[in-house]
């Protein structure tokens, strides 16, 4: 056996790193420690698992420890790494089943400890029926609770993308849904106000009540009965906490791994940390933001997979780089797809840019073609340089493919005039002859 790579964390980033390292260097010993009982699962699919779209949780598992073993990767679930000693190149591992601890030496280490859901400090948080949705265990526990207790009323705390996905899930399961959000607005960070309004309208149309408020107590006799805010009480049988995530870094920090401004692990483009032979990837780490020009914290599965792959390749002796993100995401909100990339108008202005940011309405297909529906495109363009800084798109159909055009344009720092000249596909069932992206670029380019 050659050198030993130890990977801490066995989901998107960790398993990508492990699998890639083994492919690059067959004689490298690759060992993964994962503290939960599951590896390599698609957390992104959990709202649809709970909704019943995905019949079996095992469909969300990309790989099992047994499959990884066949590829030569040793995976230990229910094993938590509790310390890293960079001097001796050793990790201390606790076997959570047997309760014993042992040390394991590494030549290379990938930290892929991910992120944890933020838990508000409010009395009553431990009541039955209060859930986070972060790990596979969380998803399964929520699914079990719903089938055993048939809740009728849900309160979702927070208005991020997991919150809106779960609003849809709960409504489809027949529950009344209140979303209690500190700002009173869904997806406040991700979208500008004019685009948020479209999302708010859809939530209202689907019977989701969005209210401003912060919880001061969770009430109930053993099981959740209500969430109390300043001046309001929201009765509920199930509560979901979706107030954000925080990079899981205490282990790394204790070992002397440097953090960036965001509080997540700082890496270079090779996913190397400041410690020799130690890499980091995924939701525990920052990513270089190509539009802002500095590191940012945008924890997403798409990035975690790519960063993990780069970390694994380099740990196995490669020279790969991760070229950064532009902040692209898409989420389904009932009948709408909602997507964004780059900077919002608000973010761009906060950064001191002078921008124009028109929002246009067009049709996703030729207007005469059956099933044509409206699509809204907002472009954020630097008024001085004409450079595209960001985009947001909302509509029933054709959103994801168009946000990816904008993401590609941002990746290559295109100007709005470049966008105007793109040769985008056209046929009546898919797009109008002037694609909404081109219409938006023409308006923003004036």
Q: Is position 444 an interface residue for ligand FAD (rule: CB under 6 A)?
A: no
Nearest to 316 by CA among 94, 22, 84: 22
Q: Using the 8-state DSSP alphabet, how is residue 372 labeled?
A: -
Distance CA 272, CA 315 (A): 9
Only segment of 39-47, 49-57, 210-218, 386-394 that touches ligand FAD (CB under 6 A): 39-47
Q: Give the number of other Cβ atoms within 10 Å of residue 293's Cβ.
A: 9
Report the residue number, 203 or 255, with the smaller CB distance to ligand FAD. Answer: 255
Only segment of 6-14, 227-235, 404-412, 433-441 that touches ligand FAD (CB under 6 A): 6-14
Q: Is position 251 an interface residue for ligand FAD (rule: CB under 6 A)?
A: yes
Q: Is position 54 an interface residue for ligand FAD (rule: CB under 6 A)?
A: no
**Which of 6, 19, 30, 33 lies at the binding interface for ligand FAD (CB under 6 A)?**
33
The CA-CA-CA angle for residues 230, 181, 211, to 5°, reads: 70
**Which of 28, 49, 112, 362 lies at the binding interface for ligand FAD (CB under 6 A)?**
112
Q: Is position 6 an interface residue for ligand FAD (rule: CB under 6 A)?
A: no
Q: Closest distance between ligand FAD and the C-beta of residue 123, in Å?
A: 25
Token output for 429: 């069932």
Question: How many alpha carbons fall within 13 Å on the CB side of residue 111?
Answer: 39
Q: What mask, x for binding ligand FAD by CB under 6 A, covers residues 252 to 291?
A: ------------------------------xx--------
Q: Is position 20 an interface residue for ligand FAD (rule: CB under 6 A)?
A: no
- Cα 400 to chain centroid distance, Å, stands at 16
Q: Closest distance between ligand FAD and the C-beta of residue 349, in Å?
A: 26
Token output for 164: 């809106």
Q: Closest distance between ligand FAD and the C-beta of residue 37, in Å?
A: 9
Report the residue number, 16 or 229, with the smaller CB distance to ligand FAD. Answer: 16
Report the residue number, 35 or 153, with the smaller CB distance to ligand FAD. Answer: 35
**Which of 22, 30, 40, 47 lies at the binding interface for ligand FAD (CB under 6 A)?**
47
How many Å from the N-terminal Cα to the C-terminal Cα in the chain?
Answer: 63
Distances (CA, A) of 190 to 60, 330, 347, 357, 371: 26, 10, 9, 15, 28
DSSP-based three-state secondary structure for 362: strand
Active site residue 236: no
Distances (CA, A) of 76 to 3, 7, 57, 88, 154: 19, 10, 20, 22, 36
Only segment of 12-20, 342-350, 352-360, 421-429 that touches ligand FAD (CB under 6 A): 12-20
- What is the C-alpha R_g of the chain? 23
List the interface residues with ligand FAD, window 291-350 (CB under 6 A). 299-302, 304
Q: Closest distance between ligand FAD and the C-beta of residue 8, in Å?
A: 5
Q: Give the number of other Cβ atoms within 10 Å of residue 100's Cβ.
A: 9
List the interface residues with ligand FAD, window 120-159 (CB under 6 A). 133-134
Nearest to 314 by CA among 111, 110, 113: 110
Residue that has been written with the tokens 């529906």 in this structure: 373
Q: Is position 44 an interface residue for ligand FAD (rule: CB under 6 A)?
A: yes
Distances (CA, A) of 389 to 104, 291, 296, 357: 46, 7, 15, 10
List the interface residues with ligand FAD, window 182-221 (CB under 6 A). none
Q: Is position 162 an interface residue for ligand FAD (rule: CB under 6 A)?
A: yes
List the interface residues with ligand FAD, window 363-422 (CB under 6 A). none
Q: What strand order describes the sheet that includes 130-132?
A: 130-132, 238-241, 153-157, 176-181, 208-212
- Give the binding-site size for ligand FAD (rule: CB under 6 A): 32
Report the residue number, 124 or 299, with the smaller CB distance to ligand FAD. Answer: 299
Nearest to 334 by CA among 200, 155, 133, 134: 200
211 bridge partner residues: 180
Listed in sequence order, the DSSP H helices in 276-398 are 301-315, 345-350
Q: Is position 115 an interface residue for ligand FAD (rule: CB under 6 A)?
A: yes
Q: Is position 80 an interface residue for ligand FAD (rule: CB under 6 A)?
A: yes
Q: Closest distance between ligand FAD and the C-beta of residue 270, in Å?
A: 17
Active-site residues: which are they? 44
User: Site residues (CB under 6 A) for ligand FAD?
Assistant: 8-9, 11-14, 33-36, 43-44, 46-47, 80-81, 112-115, 133-134, 162, 248, 251, 282-283, 299-302, 304
């Amino acid at each position: 056996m050659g050198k030993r790579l130890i990977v801490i964390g066995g989901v998107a980033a960790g398993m990508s790193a492990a699998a890639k390292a083994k492919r690059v260097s067959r004689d490298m010993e690759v060992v993964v420690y994962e503290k939960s009982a599951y590896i390599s699962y698609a957390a992104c699919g959990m709202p649809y698992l709970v909704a019943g779209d995905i019949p079996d949780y095992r469909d969300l598992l990309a790989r099992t420890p047994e499959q990884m073993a066949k590829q030569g990767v040793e995976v230990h679930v229910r094993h938590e790494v509790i310390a890293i000693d960079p001097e001796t190149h050793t990790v201390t591992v606790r076997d959570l089943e047997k309760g014993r601890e042992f040390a394991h030496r590494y030549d290379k280490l990938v930290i892929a400890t991910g992120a944890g859901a933020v838990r508000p400090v409010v009395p009553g948080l431990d009541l039955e029926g209060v859930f986070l949705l972060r790990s596979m265990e969380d998803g399964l526990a929520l699914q079990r609770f719903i089938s055993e207790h048939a809740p009728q009323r849900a309160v979702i705390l927070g208005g991020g993308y997991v919150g809106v996905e779960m609003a849809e899930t709960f409504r489809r399961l027949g529950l009344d849904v209140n979303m209690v959000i500190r700002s009173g607005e869904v997806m406040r960070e991700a979208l500008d106000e004019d685009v948020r309004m479209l999302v708010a309208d859809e939530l209202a149309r689907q019977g989701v009540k969005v209210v401003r408020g912060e919880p001061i107590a969770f009430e109930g006799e053993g099981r959740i009965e209500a969430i109390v805010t300043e001046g309001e009480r929201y009765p509920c049988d199930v509560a979901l906490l979706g107030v954000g995530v925080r990079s899981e870094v205490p282990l790394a920090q204790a070992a002397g791994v440097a953090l960036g401004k965001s509080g997540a692990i700082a890496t270079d483009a090779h996913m190397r940390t400041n410690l020799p032979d130690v890499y980091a990837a995924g939701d525990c780490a920052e990513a270089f933001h190509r539009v802002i020009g500095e590191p940012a914290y945008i924890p997403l599965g798409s990035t975690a997979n790519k960063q993990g792959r780069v970390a694994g390749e380099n740990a196995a002796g490669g020279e790969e780089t991760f070229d950064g993100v532009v902040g692209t995401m898409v989420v389904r909100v009932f009948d709408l797809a909602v997507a964004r990339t780059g900077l919002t108008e608000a973010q761009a202005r906060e950064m001191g840019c002078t921008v124009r940011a028109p929002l246009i309405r067009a049709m996703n297909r030729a207007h005469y073609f059956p099933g044509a529906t409206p699509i809204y495109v907002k472009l954020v363009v630097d008024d001085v340089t004409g450079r595209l800084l960001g985009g947001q798109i909302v509509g029933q159909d054709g959103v994801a493919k168009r946000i990816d055009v904008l993401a590609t344009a941002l990746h290559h720092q295109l100007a709005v005039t470049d966008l105007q000249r793109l040769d985008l596909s056209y046929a009546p069932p898919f797009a109008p002859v002037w694609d909404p992206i081109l219409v938006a670029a023409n308006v923003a380019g004036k």
